[in-house]
């Protein structure tokens, strides 16, 4: 693929340039087993107003996806490399950052964050990174949830739910009463994490099970009465988490966490008896 760009932003010196990276597919057969290896490369121009970068700067992203799949077998191996340069620099020079992780489908959201699908076999999960630096923000085991806060100027916020894997390094998350971690973030930092626990270890185990339960997260809008003078007031928001299990007897849990003053209002969260939501920090 080739890219030739003449930018329109006056603050960056205009320069014609070209970048080229091959996309390939290779098939090999050994002992009757066929292996398919694919490398796909995509270029993207992101910005302006990328958090952590100059306001009028554009970034050139090179996203390389490499997959290896054994025919007639479930799943595949996949890795992603994302490299970033300011627009109009020589792409042969070192990038601002280079991020390589196991995963697929890198996506930029709102010129703010980079989201990479990390689970490519049985369990889907995603990692969220700062677009301007490639630094890791948080992981989520539900699709990334977006909302906007403020009025009339609005700012994007992001919500995720992390289910601690068996090999999690933080021993606090290995406690039998732990279910999962709710994350509320901007494009530049994690604003708040909330730890959800259950007094009953058996229920906590089902709530965090990746095989026996599903979790959904949505943002609920709560319309507000007009301010004096009939002035518009933006709706309030809350994060609604629903857990539904497949075990018998089934476990069904609904948790609602208000958002207040650009933060999770864990003090006013509602949850079933025995389920708790508390502020938590890594």
Map out the domains of the chain as residue ranges.
1-104, 135-282
Q: Which residue has the higher pLDDT, 229 or 266?
A: 266
- Kindly state the average pLDDT of the residues 245-257: 91
User: Residue 158 to residues 78, 128, 202, 268: CA-CA distances in angstroms?
Assistant: 26, 10, 30, 20
**pLDDT tens digit sequence for 80-111:** 999 999 999 999 999 999 999 999 899 999 99
Q: Which of 39, 35, 24, 119 is nearest to 70 (CA)?
A: 35
CA dihedral 123, 128, 129, 131 (to 10 degrees): 120
Q: Rounded to an integer, what distance in angstroms lies between the CA atom of residue 213 and that of residue 236? A: 29
pTM here? 0.87
Those residues whose C-beta lies under 8 Å from the C-beta of residue 191, and which sit 6 or more positions away, are 157, 184, 185, 262, 263, 264
Asked if 259 and 265 touch (Cβ cutoff 8 Å), the reply is yes
Average pLDDT score over residue span 204-220: 94
Question: Taking all residues of the chain, what is their mean pLDDT, rounded to a whole number?
Answer: 89
Give the Cα separation of 187 and 52 in Å (integer): 9
Q: What's CA 92's distance to the chain center, in Å?
A: 29
């Amino acid at each position: 693929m080739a890219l030739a760009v003449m930018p329109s932003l006056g603050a960056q010196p205009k320069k014609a340039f070209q970048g080229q990276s091959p996309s390939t597919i290779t098939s090999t057969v050994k002992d009757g087993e066929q292996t398919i290896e694919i490398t796909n490369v995509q270029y993207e121009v992101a910005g302006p107003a990328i958090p952590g970068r100059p306001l009028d700067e554009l970034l050139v992203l090179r996203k390389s996806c490499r997959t290896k799949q054994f025919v007639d077998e479930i799943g595949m191996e996949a890795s992603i490399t994302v490299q970033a340069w300011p627009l109009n620099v020589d792409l042969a020079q070192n990038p601002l950052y280079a991020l390589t992780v196991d995963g697929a489908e890198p996506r930029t959201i709102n010129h703010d964050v980079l989201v990479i699908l990390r689970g490519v076999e049985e369990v889907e999960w995603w990692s969220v990174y700062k677009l301007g630096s490639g630094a890791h923000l948080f992981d989520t085991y539900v699709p990334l949830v977006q909302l906007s806060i403020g009025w009339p100027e609005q700012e994007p916020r992001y919500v995720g739910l992390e289910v601690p894997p068996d090999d999690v390094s933080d021993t606090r998350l290995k406690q039998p009463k732990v279910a999962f971690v709710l994350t509320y973030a901007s494009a530049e930092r994690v604003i708040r994490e909330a730890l959800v626990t259950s007094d009953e270890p058996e229920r906590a185990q089902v709530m965090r099970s990746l095989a026996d339960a599903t979790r959904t997260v949505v943002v609920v809008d709560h319309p507000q009465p007009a301010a004096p003078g009939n002035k518009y007031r933006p709706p309030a928001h809350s994060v609604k988490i629903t857990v539904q299990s497949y075990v018998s007897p089934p476990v069904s849990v609904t948790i609602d966490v208000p958002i207040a003053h650009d933060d999770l209002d864990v003090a006013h969260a509602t949850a079933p008896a025995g389920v708790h939501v508390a502020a938590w920090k890594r």
